[in-house]
Structure 1
Amino acid sequence: MVRLTKIYTRTGDAGSTRLGDMSQTVKHDPRVDAYGDVDEANSSIGLARAALGASDPLDAPLARIQNDLFDLGADLCVPESETPPDYEPLRVTQAQIDWLEGEIDRLNSRLERLNSFILPGGSEAAARLHLCRTICRRAERKVSALIANDVRINPAVLKYLNRLSDLLFVMARTANDEGRADVLWVPGKDRD
């Protein structure tokens, strides 16, 4: 269990921070940037949940996702190493990805058929879920860049973020009256 007894430590005042393995790095390290975007995605999901309300059927899955995103941030915060730490680091698992896929399939089966790209909008909750999706995609790009630069990352992290952004898209459509209130893109509509 994590215990936070003091909120400020002053250790970051010079622009450095510690990772989960207690190694020191700069606050603009690409790894820190990536898990910062994950934190932003998590916060945006909190706003979407507030717009939906606790009685909405999407609230419970979104609460689970918020918890999983903390797991994912912890995974990113503890670099994989040839010398494992004295404790078992928290890592994203295939089971968490499988759950996302199940939710995508469950919700998508009830949606109106998609015949056009859609614009982020409609209800407030749907618009917020679209924002969550775009923040999640940014985090996904940052993790992808880490992997491309040979930074050792649990491959399940990238898969989780990819599936999550898909699920957030489906949830946004669900919040738009199961797709019936989606705002459709009309190519070239206002060019005249």
Structure 2
Amino acid sequence: MGHRLSKITTRTGDDGTTGLGDGSRVAKSSRRIEALGEVDELNAVLGLLASETADEDLRAVLAEIQHALFDLGGELCLPGAAVLGEAQVARLEALVEAYNADLPPLKEFILPGGCRAAALAHLARTVCRRAERSVVALAQEEPLHAAPRRYLNRLSDLLFVLARVYNRRAGVPDELWRREGKTPKPPRAGAMPPNGKNSSSPAA
């Protein structure tokens, strides 16, 4: 196999277009390229999170996810392809259950933050949600398999749980959300705070 990346600067995208895996060219502002970029950004943030991760189990999980996201990028790059499947979605669901089992139940909304790794996990979660929105928008315009959307949805759940895992292992408590100095009543499952942003539950 030849060297695929022997030439980095090609100038072929100077006209504002880029090539897809099937050889076609599309505008860099297209929905598909936007989704690709969001997934790539998510992968980069996870790489940053991995660099702040010492625990081998978490490093292995992040590496597994990064490879899956690269596969997702390949699927988005090739219209009609199906790379991610239900097995990858089920794997994320199993990880959510396993890591969440050892955490204390949430009774209040929490703020993104804590130790640096937890804060980065929360950042990755928000980027993941943005990537999910881009993939959903693409699916409204072009045929797209359901697995990528489901994968990103589950991944945001997992990143929320992992943020709490990072804090617990670092001995840092979750920062509870309070409004006007008062602790709110315990939220309903899947409920959203008044600002419409869900920082204590990944359910969506």
TM-score of the pair, normalised by structure 2: 0.83
Q: Aligned equivalents of 1:102 and 1:171: distance in 2? A: 13
Deviations 1:103-156 (A, max 9, x none): 00000000111111111100000000000000000000111111223x111210
Say whether the 8 Å CA contact 1:72–1:157 is kept in structure 2.
yes
Residue of 91, 95, 99 corresponding to 1:103? 95
Q: CA deviation at 1:3?
A: 2.6
- Residue 35 of structure 2 aligns with an amino acid whose one-letter code is A
The 5 A counterparts of 1:94-173 are: 94-149=86-141, 151-173=142-164
Say whether the 8 Å CA contact 2:19–2:25 is kept in structure 1.
yes
Q: CA deviation at 1:187?
A: 2.5
- Residue 148 of structure 2 aligns with an amino acid whose one-letter code is V
The answer for unaligned runs of 5 or more in structure 1 is 81-88
Runs of 4+ in 1 over 6 A off after TM superposition: none
Say whether the 8 Å CA contact 2:82–2:145 is kept in structure 1.
no
The 5 A counterparts of 1:1-192 are: 3-53=4-54, 55-80=55-80, 89=81, 91-149=83-141, 151-177=142-168, 181-189=173-181
The answer for unaligned runs of 5 or more in structure 2 is 183-204
Say whether the 8 Å CA contact 1:18–1:24 is kept in structure 2.
yes
Higher relative contact order (CA 8 A, sep 6+): 1
Deviations 1:51-73 (A, max 9, x none): 123x4431110010000000011
1:169–1:176 CA distance, 2 compared to 1 (3 A): same
Q: Aligned equivalents of 2:6 and 2:143: distance in 1? A: 31
Q: CA deviation at 1:180?
A: 6.1
- Residue 74 of structure 2 aligns with an amino acid whose one-letter code is A
Q: Aligned equivalents of 2:22 and 2:125: distance in 1? A: 29
Which one is further off, 132-141 or 6-15? 6-15
Aligned to 2:194: none
Q: CA deviation at 1:90?
A: 5.6
Say whether the 8 Å CA contact 1:122–1:176 is kept in structure 2.
yes
> Residue 26 of structure 2 aligns to a residue in which SS?
strand
- Residue 131 of structure 1 aligns with an amino acid whose one-letter code is L
Q: Aligned equivalents of 1:51 and 1:163: distance in 2? A: 22
Size of the aligned set, in residue pairs, is 180
